[in-house]
Amino acid sequence: MRFTHRQGVASLVHFFVVVADLLLLLRVVLRFFNGNPDATFVHWVYTSTATLLEPFRSVFTSAAAVHRGWVVDYTALFAMAVYALAGYLVLGLVDRWVGARGTRR
């Protein structure tokens, strides 16, 4: 079974968005339940998602809000939405580009 260029790009975009959003969701859950950053797995999640969050660090004045002992990481939630939207836009651009190439023949 051969993949077209559109299917290959779509698969790569979907893979990146799903992995990024799952890692960020894991970070949100660990932060919400006050995961111990000294634990190896929690430390790995925090350091792995730090690069994904870097473009959004200054969007909110406080990176996390504490409500009755629960930590809500608004920056990670915002990053999840932006990465999903960016993936959707890239797929739309690929569809438009491939569709425009296909009509010129």
Q: State pTM to two decimals.
A: 0.81
Beta-carbon contacts of residue 59 (< 8 Å; ≥ 6 apart): 75, 78
pLDDT of residue 3: 72
Of 57, 61, 101, 95, nearest in space to 76 by CA = 57
pLDDT of residue 105: 45
Find the angle CA(23)-CA(50)-CA(75) to the nearest 5 degrees: 80
Contact criterion met (CB below 8 Å) for 49 and 29: no
Q: In the structure, what pLDDT confidence band is assigned to residue 23 with cuts at 50, 70 and 90?
A: very high
Task: From residue 103, give the alpha-carbon distance in Å to each of 9, 10, 18, 24.
Answer: 19, 20, 31, 39
pLDDT mean over 2-9: 78
Segment 44-101, tens digit of pLDDT: 999 999 999 999 988 887 656 666 778 888 899 999 999 999 999 998 888 888 765 5
- Going from N- to C-terminal start, the domains of the chain cover 5-103
